[in-house]
């Protein structure tokens, strides 16, 4: 049987710190593969973080994560309210 990898969520501060560390190592002419290995993430994760958070400050990353969570919560609320509205509309029409 294969092992199932669980996804570990990094705190915004840790993401920012790790991206900074890779930039420092790159400035010291350390190959990108070695720099990424030192921060204990996969190259895919590093490049995704760099694409998403590159050029942001720690506070901006934290704010982005908070807004993503709020957006998810609001989407869930809207979908629940939409379902409730459909149920009530059908019940009012007698289609139950």
**pLDDT tens figures, 73-93:** 999 999 999 999 999 998 888
Distance, in Å, from the CA atom of 95 to the CA atom of 87, rounded to the nearest integer, reads 10
Q: Are 46 and 36 in contact (CB under 8 A)?
A: yes
Domain-embedded: residue 27: yes
Distance, in Å, from the CA atom of 15 to the CA atom of 74, rounded to the nearest integer, reads 25
Domain-embedded: residue 87: yes
The pLDDT value given to residue 54: 83
Domain-embedded: residue 40: yes
CA atoms within 13 A on the CB side of 19: 22
Domain-embedded: residue 3: no
- Across the range 51-67, mean pLDDT stands at 87
Distance, in Å, from the CA atom of 26 to the CA atom of 71, rounded to the nearest integer, reads 35
Domain-embedded: residue 5: no
Write out pLDDT tens, residues 2-43: 556 566 778 888 888 999 999 999 999 999 999 999 999 999
Domain-embedded: residue 7: no
The pLDDT value given to residue 3: 56
Helix, coil or strand: residue 10: coil
CA atoms within 13 A on the CB side of 49: 25
- Domain around 23: 12-93
Question: For the chain, what is the domain count?
Answer: 1
Domain-embedded: residue 57: yes
- Across the range 59-67, mean pLDDT stands at 89
Domain-embedded: residue 6: no
């Amino acid at each position: 049987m294969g092992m199932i990898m669980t996804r570990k969520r990094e705190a915004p501060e840790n993401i920012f710190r790790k991206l900074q560390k890779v930039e420092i190592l790159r400035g010291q002419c350390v190959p990108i593969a070695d720099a990424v290995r030192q921060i204990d993430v996969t190259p895919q994760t590093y490049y995704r973080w760099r694409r998403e958070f590159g050029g942001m400050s720690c506070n901006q990353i934290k704010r982005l994560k908070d807004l993503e969570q709020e957006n998810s919560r609001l989407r869930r609320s809207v979908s629940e309210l939409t379902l409730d509205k459909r149920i009530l509309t059908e019940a009012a029409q007698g289609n139950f």
